[in-house]
Amino acid sequence: MASSLIAWLIWVTPLVGALLTPLFAKMHSRVRDVAAVGFTFAAALLAAITALMVSAGDYTVSWIPSLNITAGVLVDPLSLFMANIVAWISLLIMIYSVGYMKGEFGLTRYWFFMNLFIGNMLLLVLADNLLMMFFGWEGVGLCSYALIGHFYRDEPQYWVGSPGDKALDVSEEYSPSKAGMKAFVMTRIGDIALLIAIFLIYAFARTFNYNQLVTQLGGSGSWAANLARLGLLLPTALLFFGGPIGKSAQFPLQEWLPDAMTGPASVSALIHAATMVKAGVFLTGRMGPVFFIALSQFNQVPQFFGVIAWIGAFTALLAASQAAVAREIKKVLAYSTVSQIGYMMLALGIAGLSANFLAGYTAGLFHLLSHAVFKASLFLAAGWVLHVAESRFMDEMGGLAKAMRVTSASMLLAGLSLMGIPPFSGFWTKDAILSVSFLGGQYILYGLALATAFITGFYTVRMLGITLAGKPSKHVEELTEGGKHPHEAGFTMLIPYLLLAIGSLGLGLAYPFYSGPLTTYLASAFSATVYKLPAAYTPTSGLTDLLLLSVSTVVAVMGGVVGYLLYFRKRYEFRTDMNPVQRFLYKRWYLDAIYYKVFVSGLLAASRGLYTYVEQGIWNRLNNTIARDVMDYSRASDQLDTQVVDRAANEVASYGSRLSNFLRRLQSGVTEQYIIAFAIGIILLLAYMLFVVGAT
């Protein structure tokens, strides 16, 4: 009991912390800041204690017995792996926030939503059933929306996009509040798909619980079999994957993440790099094996996992290509995040496509870990860099390395990890993904991933070169002349990103030692009795492995060299006259603009059309023009007749004119139209019931 309480407290603690934030804020701003970090620290400690001391299991309590729904915390390798990543990185980012957000307005709101986010994220990870997972899922979405729009006053320095950026006449500039809305609506599309899938699963399995879903898989009467009989099993799986696509910003719902960079850098690091966007990968990891077993009974595995793998590989390439031309430092990192998550999805997809499920599966999860570490570090450091340069544009930075050696070193370490250079952690995990796709026989996917590796090397070096190396830009020179010299961050900020960067190196150096045990640990979730996965992990022959390692490294280095030749030691100028390829990439393949035109403008136009024609009615509009003339006339005569002093628009003068006025309006046909609509409704209903239903 006590041990299960610890597991519960992991996600409850930050939520309590969030709720107490306004109280602490009343005491003192210092108390509030310290308490906020303290609650996250408590959650991180609890997560570690759970991992070390609490035995794996499903700790449930009764919640809604009338619907056979229980609440519970699932302690298993996957959830602990994820919960510890989330909690510890959250802690570092919260510490960073203390320094980074100092003096900003709305700090109580900031801490409230940060802790609320962390609590919901941990709930998402630790929930033992789809329903509670969905609670957390919605919760992190709401917090993300609120935090993207944190600078809701929409000052220009918090926008994303260059002034005047347009694609197909759609503005590519996003204010914080607009970006928040965009993120919310776009992820919502995926959420609806996910919700439909959850409903379908519940309707057939009558449970939300993961373990019960797995144990009820066998036999011809299982929920999967019943779904499959109706031809719904594959659609359910695909709809379910819609949620991860939206949350993890995969094609075709990838467009919200780059604009979500309007939030503070700490938010970008926490939510849009390290944790929330990984929720999709986590959920795919959670339910992927379940769907694998379910689908394998009906030979539909390749379809589902093929979709995952292809979406992942395509997104990886798409986003990397956009990162290669981006102008803003946070946008480079955002595209890069989308691209790296594409890698993880690719790995999870390959898991189902190859004979060795676990190899792909663990490759995806390992990359999740290493990416969380180095990308959080990069974002936090970038937050400081753009603070120093007082600009979000890379061409207004440059030559910062001289004054900021530690920050630059940290970015370099994390950047090398992102590129996949040995011995950093990113090298091992990315290489694992590349190898499984090659060994799984998916050569086209392997090619796409390899091309992505090349571009990744290029854009990483480009980013480092433009911002840190090279000559200082005019903007930086002006700042220096104005007495604002670039300088290192304070310790509260410096230590988190430095620690993460060193951690990335450390994880890489230690990889050969912990990868085996961690794989075994993660694999232990799939005990043969429950999951019956092709679990044997067979290492490939040394020579093939070595060859694949060197190919991926050489490709990444080549990309890096191209970037080095083009962008180091030069002053970079952003030019608006781009060549067609650059323009195509810079305008985000025109996808954002097309989506906007089709979905936002299109949907609004459709709604407006429906509203005016169906709701207000064509006849209504015709009559209204006549009615308006009559009304104008009567209003004018009212004013003449009664000479009211206060002529506020909504006040009409005397009783007599009021009466006549409303009778006039009644007679102008509004009520008649209602009755006409009424009659039409009755006739339609009657016709339907007599001729369609009655025919039976």
Partner 1 sequence: MALLSLTPFLSLAVFGLLATPAGFLRFRKSKLGLAPFVCILGLAIALVSTVWLGFTSPSPVSFGGLQVDLFTLFFSGVLLIVAIFVTVASLQNMREDPNKGPFFGLLLLSTLGMIVLAASMDLILLYVAWELMSIPTYALTAFRKKDPNSNEAAMKFFVLSALSSALIVYAISLVFGITGSTGLTAIASSLSTAGPDVRPFGVLAIVLFIVGFGVKMAVVPFHMWIPDAFEGAPVTIGAFLASGAKMAAFAAAFRVFIVGIFAFNVDFYSTFAIVAVVTMSVGNVAALMQKSFTRLLAYSSIAQAGYILMALATPFTTTSVPLGLAGGLFHVLNYAILKTAAFIAAAAVATKLSVTDLDSFNGLSRRMPQTSLSIAVIFLGLAGVPPLNGFFSKVMLFTGSIYSPYSWGGYLALAALINSGFSMSYYGWVIKRMYFDEPGDESRIPEPRIYMVVLWAATILIFVIGLYPDPWIRLVQSAAAALVGSRGS
What are the residues binding partner 1 (CB under 8 A)?
63-67, 131, 134-135, 138, 142, 146, 149, 152-153, 176-177, 180-181, 184-185, 188-189, 191-192, 195-196, 199-200, 202-203, 604, 607-608, 610-611, 614-615, 650, 652, 655, 658-659, 661-662, 665-666, 670-671, 673-675, 677-678, 680-682, 685-686, 688-690, 693-694, 696
> How far out from the chain centre does Cα 469 lie?
31
Closer by beta carbon to partner 1, 72 or else 364: 72
Closer by beta carbon to partner 1, 144 or else 425: 144
Give the 3-state secondary structure of residue 597.
helix
What is the nearest approach in angstroms of partner 1 to the Cβ of residue 661? 6
What is the nearest approach in angstroms of partner 1 to the Cβ of residue 546? 50
Q: Sort strands 69-75 and 57-64 into parallel, antiparallel or unpaired.
A: antiparallel
Closer by beta carbon to partner 1, 176 or else 399: 176
DSSP one-letter code for 232: -
Q: Return the percent helix, strand and coil in the chain, to nearest 5.
A: 75, 5, 20
What is the nearest approach in angstroms of partner 1 to the Cβ of residue 242? 11
Closer by beta carbon to partner 1, 49 or else 677: 677
Closer by beta carbon to partner 1, 355 or else 600: 600
Identify any residues that bridge with 70 across adjacent strands, giving them in sequence order.
62
131 CB contacts (<8 Å, ≥6 apart)?
69, 198, 202, 208
Cα 411 from Cα 378, distance rounded (Å): 6
What is the nearest approach in angstroms of partner 1 to the Cβ of residue 24? 18
Q: Sort strands 69-75 and 170-171 into parallel, antiparallel or unpaired.
A: unpaired
Most distant pair of Cα atoms in the chain: their distance: 100
Cα 290 from Cα 306, distance rounded (Å): 16
Cα 467 from Cα 527, distance rounded (Å): 49
What is the nearest approach in angstroms of partner 1 to the Cβ of residue 3? 24
Closer by beta carbon to partner 1, 200 or else 419: 200
| Structure tokens given for 435 | 């190898």
Closer by beta carbon to partner 1, 491 or else 678: 678
Closer by beta carbon to partner 1, 583 or else 635: 635
What is the nearest approach in angstroms of partner 1 to the Cβ of residue 184? 6
Q: Which amino acid is at 29?
A: S
> Would you say 266 and 96 are in contact if contact means Cβ atoms under 8 Å apart?
yes
Closer by beta carbon to partner 1, 570 or else 665: 665
Closer by beta carbon to partner 1, 243 or else 342: 243
> Would you say 315 and 339 are in contact if contact means Cβ atoms under 8 Å apart?
yes
Cα 424 from Cα 412, distance rounded (Å): 11
What is the nearest approach in angstroms of partner 1 to the Cβ of residue 180? 7
CB neighbourhood size of 517 (10 A): 9
What is the nearest approach in angstroms of partner 1 to the Cβ of residue 338? 23
What is the nearest approach in angstroms of partner 1 to the Cβ of residue 171? 18
What is the nearest approach in angstroms of partner 1 to the Cβ of residue 680? 7
> How far out from the chain centre does Cα 231 lie?
31
What is the nearest approach in angstroms of partner 1 to the Cβ of residue 268? 18
383 CB contacts (<8 Å, ≥6 apart)?
96, 100, 264, 265, 266, 268, 269, 493
Closer by beta carbon to partner 1, 5 or else 614: 614
CB neighbourhood size of 591 (10 A): 16
Closest CA to 449 of 436, 462, 461: 436
> Would you say 271 and 147 are in contact if contact means Cβ atoms under 8 Å apart?
yes
Instruction: Give Cα separations from 646 to 101, 649, 651, 657, 660 (angstroms).
Output: 50, 9, 8, 16, 20
